[in-house]
Amino acid sequence: MTENIANKIVVITGASSGLGAETARHLVTAGAKVALGARRKDRLDELVAELGADNATAFQVDVTDREQVVAFVNDAATRWGRIDVMLHNAGLMPMAPLTENRWQEWDACIDVNLKGVLYGLGAVLPIMQKQGSGHNVFVSSVAGHVVNPVGAVYCAAKTGIRVIAEALRQEVKEWGGRTTVVSPGAVDTELPASVKAESVSGMISDSYATGAIPADSFARAVAFALSQPAEVDINEILYRPTSQAM
């Protein structure tokens, strides 16, 4: 599953832990070079030390700041000479009943999960279009397919990512662009920690503690999509732990 990955330049947001960090490890092992972006620069520096400075670079970026996202993407393009793939991975999972009126969490969810993706696209698409190729990989969720009663805003955001990706798929065909949406179920990452509502945080933590699968499951899904030849476009991958019912 590493064919066609060697020497690809992959930009990853939310790369300091979880899905982003594990995917970076997997892709570097397959021969790719990675530009890592996240708010926690110390964690990125540790990951670069692990992967090797010849294979990875680190850039502190908050995806809710459009100028920072543009600077991150431009830095990657300058350092590596091109961008073959952008993994739009930064995300939050605030869950709570709407009646709790956690409006600050609603804002954060939309700013990170949706606007952060749009800022990434705005920065990378001109580079990819000029190259005549480029692959954007989006992180949705089972929650982008199945609505739950405490996930109204999160489910809406993850559904929105799928909508953005499908519109982009149709838009970039004329110059060879590709799009993939990966929608995981419960995966062992720090994401449940973003659930702050006491009414649901314990339930979420317990479900992840007993049923979550390793983050390398996501990395393998991304690698599968990236390993395809240029004429094959894997548009969507939906997967869950075997034990997850919804």
Amino acid at 136: N
Cα distance between residue 162 and residue 87, in whole Å = 14
Cross-sheet strand order for the sheet of 85-88:
56-60, 33-38, 9-13, 85-88, 134-139, 177-184, 236-239
Q: Which of the following is catalytic: 119, 154, 208, 239?
A: 154
Reference 120, options 186, 68, 171; nearest CA is 68
Reference 120, options 163, 89, 151; nearest CA is 89
138-157 burial, b at 16+ Cβ within 10 Å, e below that, comes to: bbbbbbbbbeeebbebbbbb
Is 222 in contact with 136 (CB distance < 8 Å)?
no
Is 84 in contact with 184 (CB distance < 8 Å)?
no
Catalytic-residue membership of 154: yes
Q: Is 236 helix (H, G, I), strand (E, B) or coil?
A: strand
Burial of residue 70 (CB within 10 Å: 0-12, 13-18, 19+) is middle
H/E stretch holding 202 reads helix 198-211
Rounded (5°) CA angle 12-13-17: 95
Q: Which residues are catalytically annotated?
A: 154
